[in-house]
Structure 1
């Protein structure tokens, strides 16, 4: 789950061992300008432009083809767009309270590439308080994800309390996942890293955890079934 392009000590170790490729150096605006100037210098064959006559300058301009200029300009615009996108994706960082009237704008029209995690809750329910606490911490940890919450009676009239807490995960106007009721979260035993792992498996956050913080529920159940079978076999042996 870890991004191989991140600057972390673990990634540095992996790069040193050749497990992941070396991170490519990001080009700055100054780098691009230098590349353009270098191209011009090569075309000029080392001769300073101040020493060139009018005909030589005209010839130089003709030799710098439009394709080279187009490539540099395209790359510059692409980098600027990436920088704007990265800045936009890191402008959340907190849990925002919304009402029913905000749902379409904040959830359905959140924007391209934006993951939305919304908690439908009631303040009086202990499991909802726990989820809200984890949401606050995760919102600060993953500012690229939009974290929202809304009181059930405000956003979904007559929504049963037995369904709380409820988490909906949206991406580009499509619901990707929902967890309904306290048991879907493991009740009051839910830990923040477990909640983070749940969201990461959907794609809502980019976690650095490489494995779940605790065994999956189905694995625990399978273990219990196998243990029960072993115990039954032992009992049968005793009968003989």
Structure 2
């Protein structure tokens, strides 16, 4: 028969009298503490939470609608009014189209994505070609603006897919659409200044119309409001870069 060996394993954390003596003499490391499971904490009951502004802020649109017949809120005029205000804010936010990036389109997509866009949506279309450095510069600026103004629709299309035989010397070209019509066009990178920056592009786009929309500007969609916002962000960026430069400089 084979030679079988059995290894007896005691309960984890158990120790013999001999081990205890050896530990006192320093011949063995200290005994590890016994395992203790973390204390059980029952999940909070939603119905036991205090009903205040923060409680309402955590609710979704559907949950806020369900609270319309809540007896507790009927007795609290402030919370009932705040519920209505919060519900209106969520509904208004849901109406705002969210894009947030440059959408690549082809010639067959143009009418649907650009000409037939909703009348309250401004569409900025970049005509470009890969390998042209100026197109890459403007593309980077538009990528930042698309993130900053997610309620404005940004698209890009290879120039000859949009307009057959469109000359490369005119690239990059920006077309601005609203309500199915061309509102502006900008040919070449020089239209955006010697140094093409997102702020410079934003100011050019909003010279005559409030093209850029962040979806959070409230009820004032005017050109002045948009340009004021662009200038404010530009100043904040300059101050931040200046402060970062000061932090990185060494004093003599």
**TM-score, length of structure 1 as denominator length:** 0.53
Aligned match of 2:41: none
Listed as ranges, the gaps of 5+ residues in structure 2 are 1-63, 75-84, 214-225, 236-252
Aligned match of 1:196: 202
Aligned match of 2:193: 186
Secondary structure of residue in 2 paired with 1:204: coil
Alpha-carbon separation, structure 2, partners of 1:173 and 1:33: 44
Contact 1:197-1:212 within 8 A present in 2 as well? no
Aligned match of 2:173: 166
Greater percentage in helix: 1
Q: Deviations over 1:154-194 (max 9, x none)?
A: 2211001121110011111121111012222235x211111
Alpha-carbon separation, structure 2, partners of 1:97 and 1:121: 11
**Greater RCO structure (CA 8 Å; 6+ sep):** 1
Alpha-carbon separation, structure 2, partners of 1:204 and 1:33: 42
Q: 1:166 to 1:177 in 2, by over 3 A?
A: same
Greater C-alpha Rg: 2
CA RMSD of aligned residues (A): 3.6
Alpha-carbon separation, structure 1, partners of 2:206 and 2:165: 31
Cα distance, 1:209 vs structure 2: 2.8
Across the two proteins, how many residue pairs are aligned to each other? 153
| Residue of 140, 147, 162 corresponding to 2:154 | 147
Listed as ranges, the gaps of 5+ residues in structure 1 are 1-27, 39-74, 215-240
Secondary structure of residue in 1 paired with 2:206: helix
Alpha-carbon separation, structure 2, partners of 1:142 and 1:203: 12
Secondary structure of residue in 2 paired with 1:209: helix
